[in-house]
């Protein structure tokens, strides 16, 4: 099972940008599709984006398209989430997750079974 550690969260003003990173342990990172999710207090966990094993296929939640970009660097065992034009409603704990996958595919969200501990993003108005 892959171990995941998120970083890059913090406090930012509305309209600002952040790039989150998620570092994975092990030699099998490229066998996993990766995803980003978030959870605000009192709300359910929300899907943001996912990326296939080699990065050729990406999927976004409709509400995240245009402001958030997922990418990965398999040489560094890291997946990223670039977030632009942040809004106060983006305030949440952000989590990365991994799912074993075939090349080019995005698994069902329920298949993301390995999770990091999360990193907090707070957007002030």
pLDDT digits (tens, 9 = 90+) for 57-116: 999 999 888 999 999 999 999 999 999 999 999 999 999 999 999 988 999 988 999 999
Q: What is the pLDDT of residues 13-64, one digit of tens each?
A: 999 999 999 999 977 999 999 999 999 999 999 999 999 999 999 999 998 8
Q: What is the pLDDT of residue 27?
A: 77
Containing 22, the helix (H) or strand (E) segment is strand 18-24
- 76, 29 in Cβ contact below 8 A? no
Q: What is the pLDDT of residue 78?
A: 98
- 50, 34 in Cβ contact below 8 A? yes
Q: What is the pLDDT of residue 104?
A: 87
Q: What is the pLDDT of residue 1?
A: 80
């Amino acid at each position: 099972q892959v171990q995941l550690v998120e970083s890059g969260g913090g406090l930012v003003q509305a309209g600002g940008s952040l790039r989150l990173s998620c570092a994975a342990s092990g030699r099998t990172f490229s066998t996993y599709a990766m995803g980003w999710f978030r959870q605000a207090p009192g709300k359910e966990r929300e899907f943001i984006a996912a990326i296939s094993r080699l990065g050729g296929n990406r999927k976004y939640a409709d509400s995240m398209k245009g402001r958030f970009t997922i990418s990965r660097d398999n040489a560094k065992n890291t997946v990223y989430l670039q977030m632009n034009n942040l809004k106060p409603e983006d305030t949440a704990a952000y989590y990365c997750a991994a799912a074993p996958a075939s090349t080019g595919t995005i698994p069902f969200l329920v298949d993301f079974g390995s999770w990091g501990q999360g990193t907090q993003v707070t957007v002030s108005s």
